[in-house]
C-alpha cells in the first residue's frame, strides 16, 4: 500500500515585512458634523476618533491591497516569485465573486500562488496570520502574503450617525516566511456565533448595522481571556510585551483592555483609531506600521495583536516585529 508523503516543515515562521496604504482623503469630525447630527466632542468621547481616511473612487480594494502588499514585499526583501500563498482578509467586497486575492497576487507579479479571500470580519487579519503561520510551519508554503483591506464606507449607511462616524478605509499587509526562531506565536482564536447578528449586513441590505452596546460589552468582558491565552500559549507574560496592538474598534475598548492587562508606560499602545477610524481587517497592520513609523515600536519588539468583530470572531497572537 502506498503512503501519503508530507512536506518538510519549518521550526517557525516570522513576519519579514509590513506595509500599509492609507487613502488620500482625510475626513475630520467637523466635516461630518456639517452633514449629520453629530459633533467633535460627541465622537471623541464615544469612540476616540479625531479623523479617518475615506477612499476615493480610484482607491479600490484591489488598488489599496496591491499598494500595501507591494510595500510589505519590498520591506521583506523577497522577490514576488518567492511567495506562494496569498490570503486576503476583507469583509467589504460589494462584488463577492470572485474573491480578489488571486487578482491582487497577479498584480503584484506573484506567479500562480494559492490565493483566497478570508472573511472573519475585523478579526480577518489575525485569522489570516494564523493560517499563514501554519502553512509555512507545515511546509505547505514557503512564503506568504497576508493582506487586510477594507472600504467600509461602501457598506456604511452615511445617514446612520452611530456607524458613519466610526467606519473607514485602508489596507495593511505582512509578508511571512520560515524562521528557525518562531516570530509568530500560536493563535488564540474562536467565535461566539450566538451573537451573529450583532454586526451584520442583513440579507438583501447593502449596509452594515451594529449593536454597539452588545459589542462593547462583549469586547470589554470576553476578550481579556483571549489576550491572556495568546500570551500563555506563546510562553510570555504581559511584562514581556513591548507593543499592544488590538483591533482599533473604539479607543475606550483599547484603554479598557490596556488597563485589564496591566500594561504600563513601557508598553507602546496602538491608538491609530484616533487618526484612522475603524478599518476592520486592516486595522492591526495599519496600527503596527503607524507605531513603527513614529518610532514607538521598533524592529525586534514583541507585540500582542488581537482582531475581533463580526461573527462574532476573535483571534490574537504574540508576534516579533520585523
Partner 1 sequence: MPSTADIQAGLAEILEEVAGVTPADATPEKSFTEDLDVDSLSMVEIATAVEDKFGVAIPDDELANIKTVGDAMSYIEKNQG
Residues labelled as active-site residues: 122, 247, 278
Q: Where are the alpha helices (DSSP H) in 2-39?
A: 29-35
By the 8 A CB rule, do 321 and 288 touch?
yes
- What is the SS3 assignment for 57? coil
Q: Is 34 in the site for partner 1 (CB under 8 A)?
A: no
- Nearest distance from C-beta of residue 311 to partner 1, angstroms: 18
Among 252, 255, 260, 269, binds partner 1 (CB under 8 A): 252
Residue with cell 497592520: 285
The answer for residues whose C-beta is within 8 angstroms of residue 23's C-beta and 6 or more apart is: 53, 54, 55, 56, 59, 64, 169, 170
The mark string for 144-183 relative to partner 1 (x by CB under 8 A, - otherwise) is ----------------------------------------
Q: Is 46 in the site for partner 1 (CB under 8 A)?
A: yes
Q: Is 197 in the site for partner 1 (CB under 8 A)?
A: no
Cβ proximity to partner 1: between 213 and 299 the closer is 213
- Nearest distance from C-beta of residue 316 to partner 1, angstroms: 21
The answer for residues whose C-beta is within 8 angstroms of residue 228's C-beta and 6 or more apart is: 261
Tell me, by CB under 8 A, how many residues bind partner 1.
Answer: 13
Residue span binding partner 1 (CB under 8 A) among the ranges 10-18, 27-35, 67-75, 217-225: 217-225
Please give the backbone phi and psi of residue 146, each rounded to the nearest 5 degrees, phi first.
-115, 130
By the 8 A CB rule, do 281 and 121 touch?
yes
Q: Is 255 in the site for partner 1 (CB under 8 A)?
A: no
Q: Is 260 in the site for partner 1 (CB under 8 A)?
A: no
Residue with cell 452588545: 214
Among 56, 159, 206, 221, binds partner 1 (CB under 8 A): 221
User: Cis peptide before 245, with omega less than 30 degrees from 0?
Assistant: no
- Nearest distance from C-beta of residue 216 to partner 1, angstroms: 5
In DSSP terms, 306 is beta-bridged to 246, 316
Cβ proximity to partner 1: between 250 and 313 the closer is 250
Q: Is 294 in the site for partner 1 (CB under 8 A)?
A: no
Cβ proximity to partner 1: between 107 and 222 the closer is 222
Cβ proximity to partner 1: between 28 and 220 the closer is 220
The conformation of residue 69, written as its DSSP 8-state character, comes to H
By the 8 A CB rule, do 226 and 314 touch?
yes
Amino acid at each position: 500500500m502506498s503512503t501519503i508523503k508530507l512536506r518538510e516543515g519549518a521550526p517557525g515562521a516570522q513576519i519579514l515585512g509590513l506595509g500599509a496604504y492609507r487613502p488620500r482623503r482625510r475626513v475630520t469630525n467637523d466635516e461630518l458634523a456639517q452633514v449629520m447630527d453629530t459633533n467633535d466632542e460627541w465622537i471623541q468621547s464615544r469612540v476616540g476618533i479625531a479623523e479617518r481616511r475615506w477612499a476615493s473612487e480610484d482607491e479600490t480594494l484591489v488598488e489599496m491591497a496591491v499598494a500595501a502588499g507591494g510595500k510589505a514585499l519590498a520591506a521583506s526583501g523577497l522577490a514576488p516569485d518567492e511567495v506562494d500563498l496569498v490570503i486576503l482578509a476583507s469583509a467589504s467586497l460589494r462584488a463577492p465573486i470572485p474573491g480578489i486575492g488571486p487578482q491582487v497576487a497577479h498584480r503584484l507579479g506573484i506567479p500562480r500562488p494559492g490565493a483566497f479571500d478570508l472573511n472573519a470580519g475585523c478579526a480577518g487579519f489575525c485569522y489570516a496570520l494564523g493560517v499563514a503561520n501554519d502553512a509555512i510551519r507545515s511546509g505547505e508554503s514557503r512564503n506568504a502574503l497576508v493582506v487586510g483591506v477594507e472600504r467600509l464606507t461602501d457598506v456604511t449607511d452615511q445617514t446612520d450617525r452611530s456607524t458613519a462616524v466610526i467606519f473607514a478605509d485602508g489596507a495593511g499587509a505582512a509578508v511571512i516566511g520560515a524562521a528557525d526562531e518562531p516570530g509568530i506565536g500560536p493563535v488564540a482564536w474562536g467565535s461566539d456565533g450566538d451573537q451573529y447578528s450583532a454586526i451584520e449586513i442583513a440579507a438583501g441590505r447593502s449596509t452594515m448595522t451594529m449593536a454597539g452596546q452588545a459589542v462593547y460589552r462583549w469586547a470589554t468582558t470576553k476578550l481579556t481571556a483571549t489576550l491572556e491565552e495568546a500570551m500563555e500559549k506563546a510562553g510570555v507574560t504581559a511584562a514581556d510585551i513591548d507593543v499592544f496592538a488590538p483591533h482599533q474598534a473604539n479607543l475606550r475598548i483599547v484603554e479598557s483592555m490596556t488597563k485589564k492587562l496591566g500594561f504600563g508606560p513601557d508598553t507602546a499602545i496602538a491608538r491609530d483609531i484616533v487618526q484612522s477610524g475603524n478599518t476592520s481587517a486592516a486595522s492591526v497592520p495599519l496600527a503596527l506600521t503607524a507605531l513603527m513609523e513614529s518610532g514607538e515600536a521598533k524592529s525586534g519588539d514583541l507585540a500582542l495583536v488581537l482582531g475581533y468583530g463580526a461573527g462574532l470572531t476573535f483571534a490574537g497572537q504574540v508576534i516579533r516585529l520585523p
